[in-house]
Structure 1
Amino acid sequence: MSSPKGITEDECYRILFEEISSSDSSVDSDENDPTFTTSCASSSLVCSRVVLNLSSCLHGKNHIIFMDNYFTSYDLFKDLKSNGVYACGTINPRRKNIPKLEEEKELERGEFDYKISNDSIIIYRWKDNRAVNLISTCHSPSDVSTVTRKMKDGTITNITCPIVLKDYNSSMNYVDNFDRLESDYAIDRKSKKWWMRLFLHFLDCSVTNAFIMHKEIEMEQFSNKAFRREVYKNSLAPKIVAANFASVSHTSIAPRIKSHKPYVDESIRHKSSKQQQIHSSSRRCAVCSSKKNPVQTVWMCSVCKVPLCLRAGNNCFKRYQEN
């Protein structure tokens, strides 16, 4: 089967369905386990319904949909093809109606095996460092290309691959590039409120989409980091400053910065007739104590409530009241 004619890159709406699960749980499951079979079947039905609903506006327009192995299945590709929608993607070889291909250990690096169904759906298995399984309704197995790989000794070599792999990588890279830009300076933070994580994620997505659109406009260009700073500086920062400024009264007195030493106003401290020594808990003297030479005292001033030494040869109480 040859590739569809007359479909250019501009005409192909690359509807990229992002992976909604970190990995397909069926890969590591036992295919003979009834739980595995039920889970895989229900997951496939849900994913197929999602793809068919989202692509309903493309029927008969010969567009190409690229998706990963969370969504792909033989029946889904068959339904899409019957509706005039082409599709391509990676696939789990344990899916229903997938033919058995050459074993991975039998393939050398750069070799691939394929089978074509009666519905003109092609299943590929290509060997790189490990096997990659693909499914397509818009490629021909005779169309091959090459990819560069770095060997263990550091040399660069070209290995053969089916053209379906290069098309898949080049198209799915839109999603990968978006994920990279979004994660570079993500503001997502842990939160006990579930909605906060969603809000921060969609805020990141909005800024990333704005950055991608900005690059397409003939304006001053910024890096991803600089663009986020401009968004903050021009949109968010003025509103934060205005809100804080409105909440603080202009007539309020700036608070005095406290030091580690106690402070008592002179009008109180110099009323010696009222100031008497009283016993208190053991604390550091406000006059002679320091970090290098801490001095403890059990006396304090009855007015100032400041701990002061009262010993022979070291009367900090008198020194404090006079100075």
Structure 2
Amino acid sequence: MAHTPEEALQTSADSEEEFTFSSEDDDDSEDESFHLKGRVDLAKDTIYNANVAPSCAHHTRAACKRSVFNSVEKLNECENERDQMPAAKRARTLSWKAETDVDRVAQTLRFLPAREPGPLLSAADSHSPMSLFKLFFTESVVANLCHNTNAQAARAIAKGRKYKWTDVGVDELYRYIGLVFYMAAVKMSSIADYWRQDSLFSLPFPATVMPRDRYRTISWNVHMSHPDADKENDRKRGTAQHDRLFRIKPLMNTIRLACKAFYHPRRNVAVKERLVACRANTGMTAYVKAKLTNFKFFVLSDSSNGYTVDFSVYTGKNSFPTDRGLSYDAVMSLLDRKLLGSGYHVYMDDFYTTPKLFTDLLALKFGACGMYRDQRKDFPKTASNSLSRNSSRGSIRWIRDGPLVCVKWMDTQEVSVCSTIHAAYTGERVQRKIKAQHTWKTKILPCPAPVTAYNQHMGGVDLSDQLLQYYAAQHKTMKWYRKIFLPFLDIAANNAFILHKELHGNMTHDQFMEELITELCDVKQKAAPKQFSTNHVPIPGAELTSNVRRIATVGRRICVHCKAVHGKKEQTPWKCQACDVHLCLQLNRNCFQEWHKSL
């Protein structure tokens, strides 16, 4: 069902539940050490190491004060005759099951989306790249950006900054954004290089859009909130009223609202983090070993195409008021049942997966599947019949406790996956290249159902990251909030491309971005040079006769150019071989040339 942009925004606004953070001092020098741990890409046998330290999600069962898997490890406490059995004795009798053991079918959730999945725009209407981008960066939003940017520039000049400034307008700011995308597509070592004219690699385009110094002064002053309101918020540092994201919230809330207003996700969605490299020491960055500090985005994406449905920004270790851990609260903040509906399948990596999160999501009618860390609390740790280093490739072990099933699978290394929407093994097979006796052979291996589904649907988020990386806008800046402004542009452009692909599907990503840059910068694309056939040559209008007296008269016809332009019936023996029309070809009247100029 298609909606107008205004109706879609109003629908989303009515159901929007704002994502809030607790306040901390922007100048807090204490950085959060945050290590991303490895995730295995099973389709490519590749290990991604990011060393994420596990989050502490403290939770207990209210009735028995035991974890969800303790009931399995202690042989079903619900059976009264075994309830008094010592824990150590019960642990010795527990073992993992193999793929030959039959697992029960997981509960099927009824898929009830709040709106029709897909773009909430009419496919019958024509949508240009610029019109779709303006769904996220509307003229009113850009006008507000201009107002705040002009106020920031006036404040900087009042403090003694020495540069020329004239107020920026809506059209000029759109051109500025177009240049940002152009620089993301055409890489140079510095901003100044785009305007250099004394180099073999000189680019003529940026200078036709705006001068270099104008581009730089806009970059220095672009502002998403009003400077006077910033000062009021800064006075509240150290109190509960201080908002650490105040400088980006006006634009962030608008982008989030638009992401949810014009597209509704299909059943399979994925939660993942995105990192934005930044050297700022604000207390809101996450530390990644051997890399820069980074701003972390928690992102909810549609697995079918990579559309960014919602996102939030990590603001430090005290971001969330609950005591269930960052990973738990990050996922819960992105899944709004009132907005999305129910019956969704949520996929995530091992940073987020906990039994408590999965059972709580199931209570909200969300199924979940994700890789998990063996050392994490409440996951089964029994070694009985478990996999070992000597287990053959393709070996499967699993344990089920009610709706949760934990599966271990031996690929190039051990893989652990938890799910509430799959049975442990349903007969899936995968191909792997295995080296034996100095030769590589293809072998068919059994693969657990949760692992197969995880690879398939987490790949949609990887596709989204890949699309963003192609045209990721990156500038060096001294202000953290200007660094986050650039990912907002990336999200808007990427979502606009996905909407265009879903509605029309007649452009590649490169073509879409080229057209978007052209429209934003308000320039005309150079028309492709006309390709003339080599067959456009003059030939006699009729076969030559052997009668010398008639050579000049045989085959003469009226010149189409003389008749059309001058209204004269001039006859000529010449015609164009490709056009098959008679045209004059004389010293004082070259209709052949004039005719082909108009083609």
Q: TM-score, normalised by structure 1?
A: 0.60
Aligned-partner Cα distance in 2 for 1:95–1:20 = 23
Paired residue for 2:412?
129
CA, structure 1 residues 63+199, in 2 after alignment: closer, same or farther (shift >3 Å)?
A: same
2:329 to 49, 70, 75: 49
CA contact (8 A) 2:106 2:403 kept: no
Give, in angstroms, the shift of residue 56 of structure 1: 4.5
1:69 to 350, 354, 358: 350
| Residue segments in structure 1 that go unaligned for 5+ positions in a row | 26-41, 240-323
Render the CA deviation track for 1:261-281: whole Å, top value 9, x for unaligned.
Answer: xxxxxxxxxxxxxxxxxxxxx
CA contact (8 A) 2:387 2:410 kept: no
Paired residue for 1:157?
443
Paired residue for 1:231?
516
1:97 aligns with 2:391: no
Paired residue for 2:460?
174
CA contact (8 A) 2:111 2:344 kept: no
Q: How many residues align?
A: 221
Aligned-partner Cα distance in 1 for 2:343–2:517 = 42
CA contact (8 A) 2:429 2:445 kept: yes
1:109 aligns with 2:389: no
Aligned-partner Cα distance in 2 for 1:55–1:72 = 15
Which amino acid is 1:76 matched to?
L
Aligned-partner Cα distance in 2 for 1:146–1:91 = 22
CA, structure 1 residues 180+44, in 2 after alignment: closer, same or farther (shift >3 Å)?
A: farther
Give, in angstroms, the shift of residue 231 of structure 1: 0.8
* Residue pairs, 1:269-284, within 5 angstroms: none
CA contact (8 A) 2:111 2:267 kept: no
Paired residue for 2:567?
none
Aligned partner of residue 168 in structure 1, secondary structure = helix
Aligned-partner Cα distance in 1 for 2:341–2:477 = 46
Paired residue for 1:15?
269
Paired residue for 2:360?
79
Which amino acid is 2:398 matched to?
Y
Query: Taking CA–CA contacts closer than 8 Å with sequence separation of 6 or more, which of the two structures ends up with the larger relative contact order?
Result: 2
Give, in angstroms, the shift of residue 164 of structure 1: 0.9
Which amino acid is 1:18 matched to?
K
Aligned-partner Cα distance in 2 for 1:234–1:216 = 21
Render the CA deviation track for 1:74-121: whole Å, top value 9, x for unaligned.
Answer: 11112222333221111111110111252441421111111112x331
Paired residue for 2:162?
none
Give, in angstroms, the shift of residue 50 of structure 1: 2.7
Aligned partner of residue 389 in structure 2, secondary structure = helix
CA, structure 1 residues 191+144, in 2 after alignment: closer, same or farther (shift >3 Å)?
A: farther
* Residue pairs, 1:267-306, within 5 angstroms: none
Paired residue for 1:138?
421
1:183 to 462, 469, 472: 469
| Residue segments in structure 2 that go unaligned for 5+ positions in a row | 1-103, 118-264, 277-285, 289-321, 525-599
Give, in angstroms, the shift of residue 151 of structure 1: 3.3
CA, structure 1 residues 55+186, in 2 after alignment: closer, same or farther (shift >3 Å)?
A: closer
1:3 to 79, 86, 106: 106
Which amino acid is 1:181 matched to?
L
CA, structure 1 residues 149+189, in 2 after alignment: closer, same or farther (shift >3 Å)?
A: farther
Give, in angstroms, the shift of residue 132 of structure 1: 1.1
Aligned-partner Cα distance in 1 for 2:336–2:504 = 35
Aligned partner of residue 148 in structure 1, secondary structure = strand
CA contact (8 A) 1:15 1:65 kept: yes
Which amino acid is 1:69 matched to?
D
What is the aligned-residue RMSD (CA, Å)?
3.2
Aligned-partner Cα distance in 2 for 1:154–1:189 = 46
CA, structure 1 residues 203+154, in 2 after alignment: closer, same or farther (shift >3 Å)?
A: farther
Greater shift after overlay, 4-13 or 45-54?
A: 4-13
Aligned-partner Cα distance in 2 for 1:8–1:151 = 40
Which amino acid is 1:3 matched to?
A
Aligned-partner Cα distance in 1 for 2:109–2:364 = 18
Give, in angstroms, the shift of residue 124 of structure 1: 1.0
Which amino acid is 2:330 matched to?
V
